[in-house]
Structure 1
Amino acid sequence: MRRYTARLLGFLAVSAIAAFIGAGAYVYYGGYDTSALQQHSEPVYRVLQYVRERSILARSDFDTPDLTSLDWQHAGLMNYETYCRQCHGAPGRAPDSFSLGMKPAPTAIAELARKRSPQELYEVIEQGIKMTGMPAWAYRLNQAEMWQLVALVKQIANMTHADYDNYLVQAQEESPQQTETRPRRSEEIASATELPTMEGLSRIDAGRVAMQQYNCTSCHMIPGVTAARNQVGPPLGGITQRSYIAGLLEYSDNNLIKWIRFPTTVDKDTLMPDLGVSQVHAEAMLAYLKSVE
């Protein structure tokens, strides 16, 4: 019996090693097609869908405000047109063309309105979903604005094309300054109020998340932040120990915050763009960078 068990374990170990080597060779030689012209296989798609559903459900146990009391007709609708309609569409309104080729495809808003609970909708809006193109809006909208979007989406379940168009016309008439929708910069959020994603996090951890959410890793290598190893700009490890920032500003905490928030004000020719980093997020980034000196 012992000999049989040892042989079985040996066979399983060899099989596991062979499978690992085979999978590695499959990836190394480009066997897996990452083209967005090709769909995931049905088993892969269903597994990813199940993982996503269970993750959202496990994190959606919290109270909701009275959705009927929220300004979904105006502020919610204008924010939806600015941030959401491009991918999810609206009653009788198609998503923008770029989103039609996304893999996985963004879910139609009517489907989300009918099947998702308010808590699930809020969780997805606030936290986003990895590897789907759905961003976390917690660093761009405040709680009230995200709940307004939830309230609007639940109303969309019963809207016709004409209903949506009528609400949109009314919202544009009452908010003429927002008729041309545009992404709102983070400094337009009340910077004295920490945004939801920072709740429950230390200042250092909040800074790490902020550096991810402002996509600092698209140009910089940052210790402790998982991303591609891009070096458009210098690595940020030890930046708080340097004598100068970008070769222009003498280092101080305030000058680093100034550079993070308004780089083109310091140097109009810099490749680093103004990302609209709020004061509170810049301070959290500073705390994180100091922790990885």
Structure 2
Amino acid sequence: MDKRELRKGSLLVIAGVAGVLVVLAVIGLVVVYTGGYNVAATEQHTSFTRWAFDTTLRNSVRNRASGTTAPEGATPEMIAAGGTEYKATCQHCHAGPGVERAEWASGMRPRPPHLAEVADEWKLEEVHWIAKHGIRLTGMPAFGPSHDDRTLWNIALFVKRLPAMTPEEYAATGEPASEGSSHGENAH
């Protein structure tokens, strides 16, 4: 095969790839402009959409949290403070040992995970990053603008302890927040 035939073959491959990309872009625009994708929270995501979102979420959090350094030496006071904040700001969506999520949170898509069941799947730094920055299109708010970093680390430390807690230990950890607490107006 001479150079001319090789160049012609390369141009055909490039043109084919470009053509496929144009067709995909047109399909994407048709879906966007016609409202072809059902955004109702009463419907489950398709398997592909769920996989794509979960994979993107995990990789994004892992990459962005990799530069975060956890504080040294968690104390019982830090964990108890995290428990108080968790019960005030997180429990209604993420539940707790022996406590179900609020009924309204069950209608969210994606459904908020029970953190007592999945906290082991995340590193402490990743839990902190999620609490601080939130996750778009999930209902998970960014608590960084309304909570200081120490409070967010306390919450993350508490979340990492959830899988090992019994319902009795969970009930005894932290106290319900008072009206004058730092998160009173910002609870979501």
Give your verdict on TM over 0.5.
Answer: yes
1:21 to 26, 32, 47: 26
- The 8 Å contact of residues 78 and 181 in structure 1, kept in 2 or not, is answered as no
Give the match for residue 259 of structure 1. Answer: none
1:137 lines up with 2:139 in the alignment: no
RMSD between superposed Cα atoms in Å: 2.5
Give structure 1 stretches of 5+ with no counterpart.
Answer: 187-293
Deviation at 1:182, TM superposition (A): 9.1
1:95 to 90, 93, 101: 101
Whole-angstrom CA distance in 2 between matches of 1:162 and 1:181: 24
Q: Which has the higher contact order (CA 8 A, sep 6+)?
A: 2
Instruction: Report the secondary structure of 2:75's partner residue.
Output: helix
Give the match for residue 67 of structure 1. Answer: 74
1:106 lines up with 2:112 in the alignment: yes
Deviation at 1:121, TM superposition (A): 1.0
Counterpart AA for 1:21: V
- The 8 Å contact of residues 92 and 161 in structure 1, kept in 2 or not, is answered as yes
TM normalised by structure 1 equals 0.55
1:38 lines up with 2:5 in the alignment: no
Deviation at 1:68, TM superposition (A): 2.8
Whole-angstrom CA distance in 2 between matches of 1:63 and 1:19: 41
Instruction: Report the secondary structure of 1:135's partner residue.
Output: coil
Give the match for residue 169 of structure 2. Answer: 163
- The 8 Å contact of residues 124 and 156 in structure 2, kept in 1 or not, is answered as yes
Aligned length: 179
Give structure 2 stretches of 5+ with no counterpart.
Answer: none
Whole-angstrom CA distance in 2 between matches of 1:8 and 1:112: 45
Whole-angstrom CA distance in 2 between matches of 1:123 and 1:136: 9
Whole-angstrom CA distance in 2 between matches of 1:18 and 1:71: 54
1:78 to 76, 79, 84: 84
CA deviations on 1:5-54 (whole Å, 9 max, x unpaired) are 33343333333323322332233223211111222221221122111111
Matches within 5 A, 1:236-275: none
- The 8 Å contact of residues 133 and 143 in structure 2, kept in 1 or not, is answered as yes
Counterpart AA for 1:68: T
TM normalised by structure 2 equals 0.82
Matches within 5 A, 1:74-223: 75-168=81-174, 171-172=175-176, 178=178, 183-185=183-185
2:63 to 58, 61, 64: 58
Instruction: Report the secondary structure of 1:136's partner residue.
Output: coil
Give the match for residue 10 of structure 2. Answer: 5
Paired-residue identity, %: 24
Whole-angstrom CA distance in 2 between matches of 1:182 and 1:94: 24
Instruction: Report the secondary structure of 1:129's partner residue.
Output: coil
**Structure 1's 103 and 145: CA in aligned 2 closer, same or farther, altered over 3 A?**
same
Deviation at 1:95, TM superposition (A): 0.7
Whole-angstrom CA distance in 1 between matches of 2:91 and 2:103: 11
**Structure 1's 25 and 59: CA in aligned 2 closer, same or farther, altered over 3 A?**
closer
Whole-angstrom CA distance in 2 between matches of 1:130 and 1:13: 31
User: Which aligned segments of 4 or more residues in structure 1 are displaced greater than 4 angstroms?
Assistant: 179-183
- The 8 Å contact of residues 120 and 163 in structure 2, kept in 1 or not, is answered as yes
